[in-house]
Amino acid sequence: MPRSELSSIAEPIDVSATSAVSGGPTGSPPALACDALDKRFGATHAVRAVSLSLGAGRTLALMGENGAGKSTLMAMLAGELKPDTGSVTVAGSVAVVHQELSLFPYLTIAENLCLGREPRLFPGGPVNNRALRTLARAALDRLGVALDVDTAVGRLSPAEQQLVEIARAVALDPALLILDEPTSSLEPSQVDLLHAATERLKAGGTSVIFVSHRLEEVFRFADEIAVMRSGALVGAGPASDFTRESLVSSMVGRELEQLYPDRSAAQPAAEPVLAFDGAGGHGVRDVSFAIRPGQIVGIAGLEGHGQHVVAELAAGVRRLQAGQLVLDGSSTGRAGFKSPRAAIAAGVAFVPPDRRTSGLMLPLSIAENLTVAAAHRLHPARLLNGARERRATGPVAERLRLRFQSMEQRVGELSGGNQQKVLFGRWLLVPGLRLLVLDDPTRGVDVGARAEIYGVLRELADRGVAVLLVSTDMLELIGLADEIHVMYEGAIRGSVPGHSATEEEIMTLAAGAA
C-alpha cells in the first residue's frame, strides 16, 4: 500500500460522533476507544494503526473481507491479543461470541451457561443445581429462547448451539458485546430474537460490535459501520450513509457489479445424475427429486426440517432407511451409498457445513488439505511427489484467489473464508466429478470470496457437473439455483424455479403453507 494512502486511512475516526442516530448522551465518554492499534505476525501486517471510538448503547458493524484484519482487531479489543503498539480503553467488561463455538457438548445448557461462575450451596461447596437452572433459564429468557436447560449441548442443532453461545455472553452484562458472525446458522425468526435482544441491551447502555457477511442484517442491526481492508480502517460513518453497493465497493476495493453469475442457457435434456425416489430416514420422508448434469438444485427450509439430512444422504454420510437413490438410472442399493468413500468413487463430492470439525485437517498444510481426496492420483506409488503436488494445487489456489504465505502453511492459520476456499477447492482436483453436494458452503465467507466461489460453481455447472446446494441463505439460493425445493417437517413442501423465486414465496413454503 502506498505510504500516502496508508497515512490518510490511519487517521482516527470517531464513529460515535458522526451519526445523528440516538445512542449515549452527547459528550459522554465513549464505551470503547482504541488508538493507533497495530499488530504484525512475522511479515504479515494484520492491523495497521486503527483508531476508532464507539458511544454507549450503539451498534457498530465491523466489515471487511476475510483476512482484512477484523478478527485480529476484535481479539485486541477483547484483551485476547496484545497489540504491538496502541491502546484500548473499554468502560467495563467485554464479552465475545466467536464464529467458532466454544461450548462443551457433553455438558448441559445450564452447565455451559454458568461455567466458571456456578452458584454454590455454600462457599467452596457443591454446585447448587436449582440455582444453576434458574440462572440459565433467566439467560435464555433474555433472548426469548425456549430450550430445556438440562439438555446436553451436543444434542442441539447448530442454530440452537449458537443461541446458547450468545446467551452465555449476554448473561455477563458486558459493557461491550462483540458478535462475530452470530447469525450464520440462524433462521429468520431466531435472527429476530437476536435483534430484539441487542436492542434491549443497547437501551441499557451496552455497546455492540456486530460482524456479519449478510449485508441485509448489517443495515438492520447497525447504527454505525466501519470498514477494514488490508488491515487498515478505510472508512466509517452512520449506516444511513452507506448503500449495499457502496459498502461492497469499500470492502473489496473495487466495484462488484454482480454477485451472482449469469445463469447459463438451458442444458439439453439428460438423464439425472442422481435421483431421490421416496427417500426417507433420519427425520426425512418421501423425498423425491432429480439432479441433472449442469443443473444447480437448491434445498431450502428452516433449521431442523431435514434439508441437511438430504445433503448427507446424497453424499453417503447417512444411509437410507426407506426409498432409494438412483445413480445414472440404476439404484445405489437398498440403503443408498454405503459410505462417503463409495459416493466419491461414483463421482459425488461433499462440502460439509462445519469446515473446522468435519471438513479440514487444521494442523496439516494447505497443500495436504487440497490434495487429500486426489492423493491416490497425485502420488500413485504412495511416495510424496512435491513437484506434482505444486503443479496441481497452484492453478486451484490461483483460481480461488487464496490468500496465503506458502502452500506449506497450516490451513488452521488461514482466515475463515480462505479455509472454506480450500475445502471447496479440494474437489476441483478430483477427476470424474459428477455431482457436488454443498451444505451451507458460504457460511462465514465474505462477499468478495462468495462471488469467486459462485463463479466457480457456475463454471462447473457449465461443464456438466450437477450441484446440490443446501443453504440457509435464501438470496444465495435464488441467485444460483435453477430449481429450489423447500422442506417442511422432513418432506418437500413445494418447489419453485430459481429464476423467478422470491424470499416471500420460499418462506411461505418453509413455514408449512401449501
Instruction: List, as one string, the DSSP characters of 204-229.
Output: TT-EEEEE-S-HHHHHHH-SEEEEEE
Using alpha carbons only, give the angle 63, 86, 61 rounded to the nearest 5 degrees. 15
Amino acid at the residue 253 = G
Provide the residue ranges of all domains of the chain, joining segments of one domain with +: 3-93+173-252, 271-347+432-514, 359-431
3-93+173-252 with 271-347+432-514: one CATH topology? yes
Residue with cell 482516527: 12
Closest CA to 484 of 495, 475, 473, 493: 495
- Is 190 within 8 Å of 158 (Cβ atoms)? no
Q: For domain 3-93+173-252, give its CATH number from 3.40.109.10, 3.40.50.300, 2.40.50.140, 3.30.910.20.
A: 3.40.50.300
The confidence score (pLDDT) of residue 243 equals 87
Q: Say if CB 484 and CB 478 are below 8 A apart.
A: yes
* Residue 169 exposed, middle or buried by CB count within 10 Å (0-12, 13-18, 19+): buried
Distance of CA 483 to the CA centre of its chain: 23
Report, as ranges of residue numbers, the positions in the chain whose pLDDT lies below 50: 1-26
Phi and psi at residue 314, to the nearest 5°:
-65, -30
Residue 442: per-residue pLDDT? 85
> What backbone torsions phi and psi does residue 445 show, to the nearest 5 degrees?
-110, 135
Query: How many angstroms separate the CA atoms of 73 and 227, rounded?
Result: 12
Closest CA to 151 of 106, 193, 194: 106
Contact between residue 294 and residue 466 where contact means Cβ atoms under 8 Å apart = yes
Rounded distance, CA 421 to CA 396, Å?
10
CB of 353 closer than 8 Å to CB of 158: yes
Q: Let me know if domain 271-347+432-514 sits in CATH 3.40.50.300.
A: yes
Nearest to 414 by CA among 361, 464, 376: 361
The closest alpha carbon to 222, from 206, 235, 205, 240, belongs to 240
Distances (CA, A) of 201 to 102, 154, 170, 198: 22, 28, 8, 5
Under 8 Å CB-to-CB from 306, ≥6 apart: which residues?
283, 284, 287, 487, 489, 490, 491
pLDDT at 419: 85
Q: Are residues 341 and 398 in contact, defined by beta-carbon separation less than 8 angstroms?
A: no
Give the CA distances from residue 462 to residues 269, 293, 294, 434, in Å, rounded to whole numbers and listed in that order.
Answer: 14, 9, 6, 12
Rama region for 242: left / alpha / beta (φ>0; ψ in -120 to 50; rest): beta
Euclidean distance between CA atoms 221 and 208, whole angstroms = 10
What is the rounded distance in angstroms from the CA atom of residue 66 to the CA atom of residue 223? 22
Compute the distance between CA of residue 342 and CA of residue 346 in angstroms, rounded to an integer: 6
Q: Is residue 359 helix, strand or coil?
A: coil
